[in-house]
Amino acid sequence: MSVTTLPPLAPAQRQPGWIVRLFDYKPFLIVMCLTPAIGLLAVFLTYPLGLGIWLAFTDTTIGRKGVFVGFENFQYLLTDPLWWNAVFYSVVYTGIATFGKFALGFWLALLLNNHFPFKSLLRAIILLPWIVPTVLSALAFWWIFDPQFSIISYLLVDVLHWRTTNIDFLGMPWPARFSLIAANIWRGIPFVAISLLAGLQTISPSLYEAAMLDGASAWQRFRYITFPMMMPILAIVMTFSIIFTFTDFQLVYAITRGGPGNSTHLLATLAFQRGIAGGELGEGAAIAVSMIPFLVFATLFSYFGLARRKWQQGESND
């Protein structure tokens, strides 16, 4: 009996090396495990964030260390029509694109929530615009928006005969702005739809059955069951969407680079133009920092605005 149990015990009783014991010491292990992640984030995220705010108060340029100039950069921005232009377009871009993405994405999610053949294949296909590098699909849009050989113009002029001239998508301010918004909506629909679909699938069918028994119409079921139940997930997805639409860079940089006549600059592309391409690091950083209040406001608005209604719903139900 003892002979059979002894051999397995022997290795455990052997005195482990000090390294092994050190790695079994919980506080040390916790520090070791957290160091890579926290270290990376501290050096390449927290420190640059602080540095960016500091740079915004200096007149640093590429190759020259700046000195503290207080609010000079911001005062300059307030008098700069291009900055106001970028603020205006960033807000318009975020507003319309977010609305479009969520309206169409929610619709697509509701459609996908039905039963039909090849559903998983379709779901996989629909995510493609989100998977493919944005710049590369933006190039495809650039080609689609070409002034001479646009396929949309071809359809409208030569096939449908609705127009007699090609549309100059990117040559004039407003058409260019809306073309970019359309591309952004196109890219954002899949993410919204798939996220909301996941939310839709968590709603218990018994709620709908109960409502149907009570004689609720399809619209009433959507308005009083689907929509309130989706509020928490809508709040999260919308917060993300607003943050990343407001700070969008790739689409605009790839398709118009802020043109024509600086009319389609977003704050991010303006910051790049001034900060990296123009070398005025301090001013670029100030433009980037000027995005923060908008982001905080949008986040609070979308998160608490939508989440609170859900709590009210919950309170009244309890």
Partner 1 sequence: MTDTVAQASAVATTPPDTMAWDSGLRRLMMIYLPLGCFVLILLFPFYWMAITSFKPNAELMNFKDHNPFWITSPTLAHIKHLLFDTAYPRWLWTTMLVAIGSTTLSLIASTLAAYAIERLRFRGSPYVGLGIYMAYLVPPSILFIPLATVVVQFGLFDSPLALILVYPTFLVPFCTWLLIGYFKSIPYELEECALVDGATRLQILRRITLPLAVPGLISAGIFSFTLSWNEFIYALAFIQSGANKTVPVAILTELVTGDVYQWGALMAGSLLGSLPVAIFYSLFVDYYVSSLTGAVKE
Interaction with partner 1 in 18-47: which residues (CB under 8 A)? 20, 23-24, 26-27, 29-30, 32-34, 36-38, 40-41, 43-47
Cβ 159 to partner 1, closest distance in Å? 10
Q: Which is nearer to partner 1, 38 or 316 (CB)?
A: 38
Least CB distance to partner 1 at residue 316 (A)? 24
CB of 31 to partner 1, least distance (A): 9
Query: For partner 1, which stretch binds (CB under 8 A), given 91-99, 167-175, 263-271, 306-314?
Result: 263-271
Cα separation, 179 vs 93, whole angstroms: 11
Residues 111-150 that bind partner 1 (CB under 8 A): 111-112, 114, 116, 120, 122-129, 131-137, 139-141, 143-144, 146, 149
Q: Which is nearer to partner 1, 251 or 316 (CB)?
A: 251
Among 237, 245, 248, smallest CA distance to 302 is for 237
**Whose Cβ is closer to partner 1: residue 213's or residue 316's?**
213
Residue 63 CB, nearest approach to partner 1 (Å): 10
Under the binding rule (CB under 8 A), the answer on residue 276 touching partner 1 is: yes
Q: Which CB, 134 or 262, lies closer to partner 1?
A: 134
CA distance 230 to 236: 10
Q: Is 103 in the site for partner 1 (CB under 8 A)?
A: no
Site string for partner 1, 282-311 (x = CB under 8 A): --xx--xx-xx--x---x------------
**Least distance (Å) from partner 1 to the CB of residue 119?**
10
Quick one: three-class SS letters along the chain? CHHHHHHHHHHHHCCCCHHHHHHHCHHHHHHHHHHHHHHHHHHHHHHHHHHHHHHHCECCECCECCCECCCHHHHHHHCCHHHHHHHHHHHHHHHHHHHHHHHHHHHHHHHHCCCCCCHHHHHHHHCHHHHCCHHHHHHHHHHHCCCCCCHHHHHHHHHCCCCCCCCCCCCCHHHHHHHHHHHHHHHHHHHHHHHHHHHHHCCCHHHHHHHHHCCCCHHHHHHHHHHHHHHHHHHHHHHHHHHHHHCCCHHHHHHCCCCCCCCCCCHHHHHHHHHHHCCCHHHHHHHHHCHHHHHHHHHHHHHHHHHHHHHHHHHHHC
Nearer to partner 1, 133 or 316 (CB): 133
- Name the segment binding partner 1 (CB under 8 A); options: 16-24, 67-75, 76-84, 168-176: 16-24
- Tell me: does residue 78 bind partner 1 (CB under 8 A): no
**Nearest distance from C-beta of residue 180 to partner 1, angstroms:** 14
Give residues 180-239 in contact with partner 1 (rule: CB under 8 A): 186, 189-191, 194-195, 197-199, 202, 212, 215, 217-218, 233, 236-237
